[in-house]
Structure 1
Amino acid sequence: MGWRERKHEETYNEEEINQRLQDELPHWYYEKGWIRRKYKTSGWKSTLMVVNTVGHLAEAAFHHPDLTVSYAFVIVKLVNHAAKGVTNKDFELAHKIEQVVMWQPGKEDGALEGTPDDPRFKYIKYD
């Protein structure tokens, strides 16, 4: 059965998780039952912005990750507690977090320039 055919609460096995991460979310990894991502920041203010962004997206989705927060990084961990494993909900929220946190408007064709390449304005350490 392909992942598009799964019910929202149906869990994936470790091989399926790793394959889907490799195909769709290459900066995420599977460890101890969770899909995870470490976002490196330029310091405490940037870390708080990432935490607030993840918090907003998780609350809007009503699917809540565990976070490890330090001065210059945030680790996001996702698992569906009710289903006791990784489900489509985890992958969908991971995609949305990745899309928003790693957004670089300066690389798009548009009016938004993005954060200047200057240490005073650094925010995320982009991959």
Structure 2
Amino acid sequence: MKHIKLSDSAIEKKLENLQDWDFYDDALHTDFEFDNFKDCMSAMNRIAFECEALNHHPEWTNVYNTLDITLTTHDADGVTELDFKLAEAINKIVEVEE
């Protein structure tokens, strides 16, 4: 399935309903801080299942209790609906963890 890159204005509008995410460098970005490493890894594992279900994978890094996530659709050279779908799922998972 071919994913269509969203316009900057469409992305900014969709971001109004997506808490804790920013748009820059043709990608969506967020970071989460957890109580400890174990809670962070638990969230990452739950997010991984969602990524597999959507067949869409983040660029992410974890340092102790902090998780940095970048979402972009490489075959579209930018942000697509798929990135927003995954971002919304990530927010739900992290809300449950906290």
Same fold per superposition (TM over 0.5): yes
Kindly provide the amino acid, as one letter, of the partner of residue 58 in structure 2. Answer: P
Q: 2:60 aligns with which of 47, 58, 67?
A: 67
TM-score of the superposition, structure 2-length normalised? 0.89
1:10 and 1:73 mapped to 2: Cα distance?
A: 31
Kindly provide the amino acid, as one letter, of the partner of residue 61 in structure 1. Answer: L
Q: How many residues align?
A: 98
Identity among equivalent pairs (%): 26
Structure 2 unpaired stretches of 5+:
none
Alignment map for 1:37-56 (pairs within 5 Å) = 37-56=30-49
TM-score of the superposition, structure 1-length normalised? 0.70
Structure 1 unpaired stretches of 5+:
1-6, 104-122
Quote the offset at 1:46 in angstroms: 1.0
Quote the offset at 1:8 in angstroms: 6.3
2:26 and 2:46 mapped to 1: Cα distance?
A: 24
Q: Does 1:13 align with 2:7?
A: yes
Return the structure number with greater relative CO, CA threshold 8 A, min gap 6.
2
Largest Rg, 1 or 2: 1
* Aligned CA distance change for structure 1 residues 98 and 8 (closer, same or farther; 3 Å): farther
3-state DSSP of counterpart to 1:96: helix
